[in-house]
Amino acid sequence: MRSQSCPSRYAELEPVSDIDEGSLQISTDAPHPTACGPAATDSGRDRPDEGAGDPGRERRERQLRMLDEVAEMTMVLTRGTYAEAIREQIQREQAAEAAAAEEPVVPQPSARAEPAAAPARPKPAPTEPAEPRMPRFRGPSGTRDPRVIFTMLSAELRQIIALQVWITGGGGPRTKAEPAVKTYAPGKSPAEIERKRLIRRLLDECLVFTMAKLYNDMDGLELDYVRGIIDERVEAKEILGDLMTKPISVMVDKLAREIDMPADWRLWEEEEWAKEEIRTRPPGSGYLDFPFSPEREHEFDMVWDCDPPFGSIGTFDPKPNPRGYFARPGPNRRPL
* Residue 179: predicted pLDDT: 67
Q: Is residue 112 part of a domain?
A: no
Note whether 218 and 163 are same-domain residues.
no
Report residue 188's pLDDT band, with 50, 70 and 90 as the boundaries: confident
Look up the pTM and report it: 0.45
CA 93 to chain centre: 47
* Residue 9: predicted pLDDT: 44
CA distances from 145 to 74, 131, 139, 150, 256 (A): 17, 38, 18, 9, 86
Mean pLDDT of the chain: 74
Q: Is residue 140 part of a domain?
A: no
Q: Is residue 307 part of a domain?
A: yes
The mean pLDDT of 175-193, rounded to a whole number, is 78
Note whether 275 and 214 are same-domain residues.
yes
153-165 pLDDT, tens per residue? Answer: 888 888 888 888 8
Note whether 159 and 246 are same-domain residues.
no
Percent pLDDT > 70 in the chain is 62
* Residue 50: predicted pLDDT: 46
* Residue 107: predicted pLDDT: 63
Q: Is residue 12 part of a domain?
A: no
The mean pLDDT of 165-180, rounded to a whole number, is 68
Among 10-14, 181-185, 315-319, name the one with the lowest average pLDDT. 10-14
Q: Is residue 3 part of a domain?
A: no
How many CB atoms sit inside 10 A of residue 70's CB? Answer: 15
Which residue range forms the structural domain that includes residue 264? 190-327
Note whether 244 and 322 are same-domain residues.
yes
Note whether 201 and 314 are same-domain residues.
yes
pLDDT at 18 over 60: no
Closest C-alpha among 231, 226, 255, 223 to residue 242: 255
Closest C-alpha among 306, 301, 94 to residue 212: 301
Note whether 197 and 162 are same-domain residues.
no
Note whether 198 and 316 are same-domain residues.
yes
pLDDT at 323 over 70: yes
Q: Is residue 115 part of a domain?
A: no
Among 8-12, 135-139, 178-182, 204-208, name the one with the lowest average pLDDT. 8-12
Q: Is residue 179 part of a domain?
A: no
* Residue 248: predicted pLDDT: 93
74-133 pLDDT, tens per residue? Answer: 898 888 888 888 888 898 888 888 888 877 666 665 556 566 666 777 777 767 666 666
The mean pLDDT of 39-58, rounded to a whole number, is 55
The mean pLDDT of 280-307, rounded to a whole number, is 82
Question: CB–CB of 234/200 below 8 Å?
Answer: yes
Among 65-69, 151-155, 254-258, 317-321, name the one with the lowest average pLDDT. 317-321
**Euclidean distance between CA atoms 290 and 79, whole angstroms:** 79
Q: What is the number of structural domains in the chain?
A: 2
